[in-house]
Amino acid sequence: MCAAKKTNLSDAAESVFPRFFGEAILSTILFYRMRRSGNRPLPHFLIIGAQKGGTSSLYRYLSQHPQILPGIRKEIHFFDLHYHKGVKWYQAHFPLLQDCCITGEASPFYLCHPHAPKRIFQRIPNVKLIVLLRNPVERAISHYFHTVRHKREKLSIEEAFRNEERRILPELAKMKKDESYSSDVYQRHSYKSRGIYVDQLKAYAEYFDREQMIILSSEDFFHNSAETLKKVFSFLNVAPEFSPDDISPKNVGMYDSEVVPESIYQYLTDYFAAYNEELYEFLGSDFEW
């Protein structure tokens, strides 16, 4: 087992209790760490998505493994929102490691960000990528209510879905044209776009070998977390027999499915049908959505 998990108490405290740090305190910690960031690793693995697919739960479960030390926070967003801050800033988020341990982070915006695949490949070409894919119909609805809860959406669910392209496509075009351009509109309101998984995975396949990626069904993960974790532990080359003490769901967004009109489910089912079939062909696996 990795002794660093027990002996590196300052790193462990920052990793386990990030919610207690205000941004000012976190900035101070990062400033101090950046002075010695060359001694800190870049991540061995990234959970790149999908949002509302169980990434928070998976990251918390992985962080309980004695051979996996978490970063200072789950979502660092370096390869999408903070790339301009530089690699030393990124390294400052990760713990000092012994040879027997690995580290990683989970930023689900990476999966659909137009520049993330290339940036990740340029910085950490041998990284392992973990993808959780949830039924895109359920994911889009969950995403909508998540945005409403955070008071970032005023449109009705039908208006939001039917007006998505009008809202986000101009923003996406600006992002593709200018790597420094960041769009809150695209990040918050890409309800349907984020569920077109086949296009996102093809973008990563341009840079990474298939063996570097593990692509999992969120539904399988939700219903049999223990078995999914064994697969992920094996993929990461850490002891697969480890069982976390806490496998309760994390960051679960609750909403009443009965308030969603059946017409919305049908609209989204029809919208994603062709994309899902293309995804199954690409993966060689049918998720039965």
Q: What is the pLDDT of residues 151-161, one digit of tens each?
A: 999 999 999 99
- The pLDDT assigned to 258 comes to 66
> What is the Cβ-side half-sphere exposure of residue 228, based on CA atoms within 13 angstroms?
24
- The pLDDT assigned to 2 comes to 57
- The pLDDT assigned to 12 comes to 40
Q: What is the CATH number of the domain that holds 223?
A: 3.40.50.300
Query: Is the predicted pLDDT of residue 13 greater than 50, yes or no?
Result: no
How far, in Å, CA of 278 to CA of 129, rounded? 21
Q: For the residues 214-237, what does the mean pLDDT come to?
A: 97
How far, in Å, CA of 189 to CA of 192, rounded? 8
Q: For the residues 27-42, what does the mean pLDDT come to?
A: 78
Alpha helices in 164-261 (DSSP H): 164-177, 184-189, 197-205, 218-223, 225-235
- The pLDDT assigned to 3 comes to 47
Q: How many domains does the chain have?
A: 1
Query: Is the predicted pLDDT of residue 145 greater than 50, yes or no?
Result: yes
End-to-end CA distance of the chain: 40
Positive or negative: CA dihedral 221, 120, 101, 236:
positive
Q: What is the mean pLDDT of the chain?
A: 90
Share of the chain above pLDDT 90, in %: 78
Query: Is the predicted pLDDT of residue 186 greater than 80, yes or no?
Result: yes
Q: Which domain holds residue 184?
A: 4-283
Query: Is the predicted pLDDT of residue 253 greater than 90, yes or no?
Result: no
Domain assignment of residue 272, yes or no: yes
pLDDT confidence band for 58 (50 / 70 / 90): very high
In three-state secondary structure terms, 152 is: coil
Query: Is the predicted pLDDT of residue 10 greater than 50, yes or no?
Result: no
Give whole-number Cα distances, 278 to 129, 154, 249, 261, 281, in Å: 21, 33, 30, 27, 5
Give 268-283 pLDDT, tens digit per residue. Answer: 999 999 999 999 999 9
Residue type, 38: G
Give 72-110 pLDDT, tens digit per residue. Answer: 999 999 999 999 999 999 999 999 887 789 999 999 999
- The pLDDT assigned to 194 comes to 98
Domain assignment of residue 167, yes or no: yes
Residue type, 109: F
The DSSP result for 239-265, as a single string, is -TT---S-----SPPP--GGGS-HHHH
Give 43-52 pLDDT, tens digit per residue. Answer: 999 999 999 9
Name the residue among 254, 215, 252, 250 with its Cα closest to residue 64: 250
Query: Is the predicted pLDDT of residue 39 greater than 90, yes or no?
Result: no
- The pLDDT assigned to 29 comes to 80
SS3 annotation, 30-80: HHHHHCCHHHCCCCCEEEEECCCCCHHHHHHHHHCCCCEEECCCCCCCCCC
Domain assignment of residue 289, yes or no: no
pLDDT confidence band for 257 (50 / 70 / 90): low
Query: Is the predicted pLDDT of residue 18 greater than 70, yes or no?
Result: no
**Is 130 within 8 Å of 58 (Cβ atoms)?**
yes
Domain assignment of residue 288, yes or no: no
Give 101-138 pLDDT, tens digit per residue. Answer: 999 999 999 999 999 999 999 999 999 999 999 999 99
Residue type, 180: S
